[in-house]
Structure 1
């Protein structure tokens, strides 16, 4: 499933799984994937607005505080419906842009394309909008900046 993902995009998913475990979740939610993206950091050519990382973390923790019981990292966890939709939308963006690999810019777009999820709301609170972000991701791809 993740064979077209860049290494940093794969690590984002891994850190999302870890965030779900830390929160005691029974499945990986879209907001856990966003926490994974925040932890991994964006690929070259993209950056979070100043102060966005902490704002995103605070917004997610305010809505989904960490649970008392952490889920073991060896336990298999499914992706929630919203998390699956984020990845699906990210892949559609990758395909529409003609990119061979799915990178973190596509993931950011995927979050925004699932507007009801907490991850999208957190990104919108820090100023992300779909069309300007889409243009920025295309510009990075068009400049030929390889993902790190």
Structure 2
């Protein structure tokens, strides 16, 4: 399937994997594909999102907020605060030393090195569905390639993953974005 991807679409997948690693996630989800698209400001998909008010920084902040911090909630932080422990300060220090998301990583994967610095990170079922839907979108438009715009169409069509939630929170009109993508995706890859 990836042989039909344009260079920008392939780069989106590479950048999605980088985003997953940077955030300490052991999977590539729809949110990582969205971050991969936004990491390439020169592409059609990124330009259409940015003009609607969704940039990489906002998207990443929203992803982190929606995912939350596994294992600890506000009640835990409050309880620790009563005995003089500032959980957010500890988290900042740990992440400054070990990298962003260090407290969220699965220690077994980090020990094995499987996801810590290299190797394959698996796609979630939803992310795989987005890739499949991007192919369907390309076929619907009678294109013989899959570009970044087709990936964004796939995210819109999937419509239920974390990427869709980020898009919705940004106030993006899915139907209008879809229409703009249909109009602007070139029939021949750039």
> What TM-score does the superposition give when structure 2 sets the normalisation length?
0.68
1:60 Cα deviation after fit = 0.8
The aligned counterpart of 1:51 is: 53
Mapped partners of 1:89, 1:145: distance in 2: 17
Contact in 1 for aligned 2:5/2:145 (Cα 8 Å): yes
Segments of structure 1 that go 5 or more residues without pairing to the other structure are none
Q: Which moved more, 1:26-35 or 1:119-128?
A: 119-128
Task: Output one character per residue of 1:64-107: Cα deviation in whole Å (capped at 9) or x when no partner.
Answer: 36521473342211111011011111111111000111111111
Answering whether residue 135 of structure 2 is matched by residue 91 of structure 1, we say: yes
Q: Assess, with a 3 A threshold, how the Cα gap between structure 1 residues 32 and 135 changes in structure 2: closer, same or farther.
A: same
Mapped partners of 1:51, 1:129: distance in 2: 11
1:3 Cα deviation after fit = 0.8
The aligned counterpart of 1:108 is: 152
Q: Assess, with a 3 A threshold, how the Cα gap between structure 1 residues 73 and 7 changes in structure 2: closer, same or farther.
A: farther
Segments of structure 2 that go 5 or more residues without pairing to the other structure are 69-99
Contact in 2 for aligned 1:44/1:145 (Cα 8 Å): no
Report the structure number with the largest CA radius of gyration. 2
Q: Considering only aligned residues, what root-mean-square deviation do their CA atoms show, in Å?
A: 2.3
Q: Which moved more, 1:132-141 or 1:26-35?
A: 132-141
Task: Output one character per residue of 1:29-87: Cα deviation in whole Å (capped at 9) or x when no partner.
Answer: 11111111111235248522253113322211212365214733422111110110111
> What TM-score does the superposition give when structure 1 sets the normalisation length?
0.85
1:114 Cα deviation after fit = 1.8
Answering whether residue 83 of structure 2 is matched by residue 80 of structure 1, we say: no
Contact in 2 for aligned 1:18/1:73 (Cα 8 Å): no
